Structure 1
């Protein structure tokens, strides 16, 4: 199962169960361990996932983190869990103390719903205070799923993740700043735009007036961009549908029903009218063959005539609807297959009765 489907399934489970989960221990078992499983690690294999992981911390003994994920005998991720009802705070976290005494480059702080991944970008072998990857598992975006996938057992590569972590960290912080400016433009942000369009002196009163203008301009710009993208997508879909309809029309225009095919149809009608009304026998011409159907139903082919090539054929159908293509010298040879045509009608009629 693809990881995005597994994450969606886990998110649905969390939304259904969280009201019934009361403790940190229940959070671990119901939410965190399934997430570790999604990453491809076996929580019941002590060579891959070690609960209550202990490391020597100088004079301080016996402190533990909730889990350590191992690869090739070394811890690659240490995990600290909280109850899903608790907010995550990195202060006083045991992850800080464990990080520098293990060979791991990644630490995970989670309450089973919110996840924060840390590494040592600011100082080597010292865990950063800010996570480089942070998400709510019940509200995942596609780009976040792509980052989670890098921690999967089959993809895990320390150098690749660390090299990308710096970009993720700064992108996350920049997005926060953009959001802050959209909600409440700062003086510097406002002055940047005001200087471009206002020719007078930027007094405090003018800057305050421009804050509202800048905020409205940004919101309108974003809305217009979204609408443009939606309209472009709708236009593209409309053009695609029109192209498909045009191709269909062009294909239909290429079909020319010949007088010989109509004569062949009349012969089939003459054979079958003794058993069924003429109104039930219908022809449909295609580029490949001239089809004759019972009740205008594609699932009830009576026969097919192939008359446009250098050699002529008639296709007949057995009780399994398998097609047999037989050569004919002219449409008059259709009379030779009277029994087969009548048997085909009997077959369809018997199916209706059953």
Structure 2
């Protein structure tokens, strides 16, 4: 089982256990230690993962950092843990800062068990940066995040490899955050600069105010259209032919038919793709993930075994803006369940596995 599958399983378990994790020790035991294990480190081997790592730092004697991870016998990563409910954005990490400055470790992690902030000394040698160069959110991540996380896995860990891309990654993430804020709340200067490209009149405050909701909506529509087009292309390449991607609602999975004509009205969302990847991760223990396919339709998105419409694993009913549903197939009949977050799909793990194994048998 690779890191992608291990992280997906861990994310599902933590989602179920989250309300029971009420202090720092519980956060360490239920969340942080399993996370370190997914990276390939033996948390029960003190020569590899040292809990309560102690080093005398200046006048601060006997201070401890929660974990120190060694790779190849060399101290590589320091980990400071906070309780699950801690907002890391407003957290001081002075211990981590002091320890990093006086050890040979090149990376430090600040975490509350759900969010993992990775730091190094990109701005000033041997001094921990104030901003992380990479942030991994265990219950809200994408494939690119997983690829970055894999660089910290024990079998492939290489300081030079990580640092070679860390600076670019840091500023790329900061730019993404700034862009997201711009899309959400475009500044007056941005609105003015953009509107001057197509509005010939005088740029008064009233004009800028009038254009603000228009520009915001135009940006959102453009992003949605770009994502939709890329998803369509990716799905078409996966299935071999665009005409084999779409399912027409029939009610009976054995009578479902394919159609290319309906494709222009279908938009595959990022949420559907993320849900598809979660289902693949859940089933990875019983079936090759490459045998799990997705076909989108107007009324639902189907996830199938062997790309066979007679073997539906589940259906994603995400078209409604007010509620999401996942359709599970119990003894050949679809049963719909409401979900409010994609991670709730993990709570239907047993039903999904049973459906898939029934087809295999």
Q: Output the TM-score relative to the length of structure 1.
A: 0.65
Could you list the runs of 5+ residues in structure 2 that have no partner in the other structure?
Answer: 245-361
Cα distance in 2, alignment partners of residues 55 and 238 from structure 1 = 58
Q: Output the TM-score relative to the length of structure 2.
A: 0.64
Q: Is the 1:77–1:108 contact (alpha carbons within 8 Å) kept by the matching residues of 2?
A: yes
Q: Is the 2:93–2:110 contact (alpha carbons within 8 Å) kept by the matching residues of 1?
A: no
Q: Is the 1:119–1:132 contact (alpha carbons within 8 Å) kept by the matching residues of 2?
A: yes
Residue 191 of structure 2: aligned partner: 190
Larger Rg: 1 or 2?
Answer: 1
Residue 12 of structure 1: aligned partner: 12
Within a 5 Å distance, the mapping from 1:131-170 to structure 2 comes to 131-170=132-171
Residue 34 of structure 2: aligned partner: 34
SS in 2 for 1:154: helix
Residue 70 of structure 2: aligned partner: 70
Within a 5 Å distance, the mapping from 1:209-228 to structure 2 comes to 209-228=210-229
Residue 200 of structure 2: aligned partner: 199
Deviation at 1:231, TM superposition (A): 4.9
Cα distance in 1, alignment partners of residues 232 and 39 from structure 2 = 38
Within a 5 Å distance, the mapping from 1:156-305 to structure 2 comes to 156-232=157-233, 239=241
Cα distance in 2, alignment partners of residues 113 and 106 from structure 1 = 18
Residue 55 of structure 2: aligned partner: 55
Structure with bigger RCO (C-alpha 8 Å, 6+ apart):
2
Q: Is the 2:120–2:129 contact (alpha carbons within 8 Å) kept by the matching residues of 1?
A: yes
Cα distance in 2, alignment partners of residues 149 and 33 from structure 1 = 17
| Aligned alpha-carbon RMSD (Å) | 2.0
SS in 2 for 1:130: coil
Residue 119 of structure 1: aligned partner: 120
Q: Is the 2:136–2:149 contact (alpha carbons within 8 Å) kept by the matching residues of 1?
A: no
Cα distance in 2, alignment partners of residues 15 and 234 from structure 1 = 29
Greater Cα shift, 232-241 or 122-131: 232-241
Q: Is the 2:48–2:71 contact (alpha carbons within 8 Å) kept by the matching residues of 1?
A: yes
Cα distance in 1, alignment partners of residues 201 and 166 from structure 2 = 44
Residues 75, 234 of structure 1: alpha-carbon distance in 2 compared, 3 angstrom cutoff: closer
SS in 1 for 2:155: coil
Residue 21 of structure 1: aligned partner: 21
Q: Cα deviations across residues 6-57 of structure 1 (Å, max 9, x unaligned)?
A: 0011111111212222221111111111111111111111111111111121
Q: Is the 1:56–1:101 contact (alpha carbons within 8 Å) kept by the matching residues of 2?
A: no
Greater Cα shift, 38-47 or 207-216: 207-216
Q: Is the 2:133–2:167 contact (alpha carbons within 8 Å) kept by the matching residues of 1?
A: yes
Give the total of aligned pairs. 243
Residue 330 of structure 1: aligned partner: none
Q: Is the 1:31–1:112 contact (alpha carbons within 8 Å) kept by the matching residues of 2?
A: yes
Deviation at 1:223, TM superposition (A): 2.5
Residues 235, 49 of structure 1: alpha-carbon distance in 2 compared, 3 angstrom cutoff: closer
Cα distance in 2, alignment partners of residues 101 and 224 from structure 1 = 50
